[in-house]
Amino acid sequence: MEYSRTIFEEYHIDEDVGFALPLPLEELPHPYDAWISIARNLPELIKNNQLRMEVEKLAMLSIDDLRGHRAQRLGHLVLGYITMAYVWGQGDGDVRKVLPSNIAVPYCKLSEKLGLPPILLYADCVLANWKKKDPSGPMTYENMDILFSFPGGDCGKGFFLVSLLVEIAAASAIKVIPIIFDAVKREDSDTLQKALLDISSSLRKALDVFSQIHEYVDPNLFFNVLRIYLSGWKSNPLLSEGLLYEGVWDTPKKFAGGSAAQSSIFQCFDVLLGIQHTVGGVPSDPAAEFLQEMRTYMPPAHQSFLLSLKSRPSVREFVLSKGNAMLQETYDQCVQAMVALRNYHLQIVVKYILIPASRQSKAESSIEDLEAESKGTGGTNLMDFLKTVRGKTVNCLLKEH
Ligand code: HEM
Residue 364 CA to ligand 1 center (angstroms) comes to: 26
pLDDT score recorded for residue 137:
97
Residue 362 pLDDT? 52
CB 123 within 8 Å of CB 298: yes
Break the chain into its structural domains and give their ranges.
Answer: 2-400
- Of 377, 375, 355, whose CA–CA distance to 366 is shortest? 355
Query: 227: closest CA among 130, 392, 135, 354?
Result: 354
Asked if pLDDT for residue 97 goes beyond 90, the answer is yes
Angle, helices 264-273 vs 286-295, to 10°: value is 120
Q: By the 8 A CB rule, do 391 and 382 touch?
A: no
Q: What is the pLDDT of residues 195-212, one digit of tens each?
A: 999 999 999 999 999 999
Q: Please give the pLDDT value at position 5.
A: 79
CA–CA separation, 319 vs 325, rounded Å? 9
Q: Which of 259, 354, 374 best tests ligand 1's pocket when mutated (most atoms within 8 Å of CB)?
A: 259
CA of 303 to the centre of ligand 1 (A): 19
pLDDT-derived band at 374 (thresholds 50, 70, 90) equals low
Is residue 308 over pLDDT 60?
yes
CATH says 2-400 is which class? mainly alpha
Task: Please indicate if the annotation marks 345 as binding a ligand.
Answer: yes
> Where does ligand 1 bind, in terms of residues with CB under 6 Å?
159, 162-163, 166-167, 210, 213, 217, 222, 259-261, 263, 266, 342, 345, 348-349, 352-353, 376-380, 382, 385-386, 389
Select from 345, 388, 396 the residue to mutate for testing ligand 1; criterion: most ligand atoms less than 8 Å from CB: 345
Nearest to 396 by CA among 334, 344, 341: 334
| Number of residues assigned to the chain | 401
Residue 52 contacts residue 96 (beta carbons within 8 Å): yes
Q: How large is the average pLDDT for residues 71-94?
A: 97
CA 77 – ligand 1 centroid, Å: 20
The alpha carbon of 379 and the centre of ligand 1 are apart by a number of angstroms equal to 12
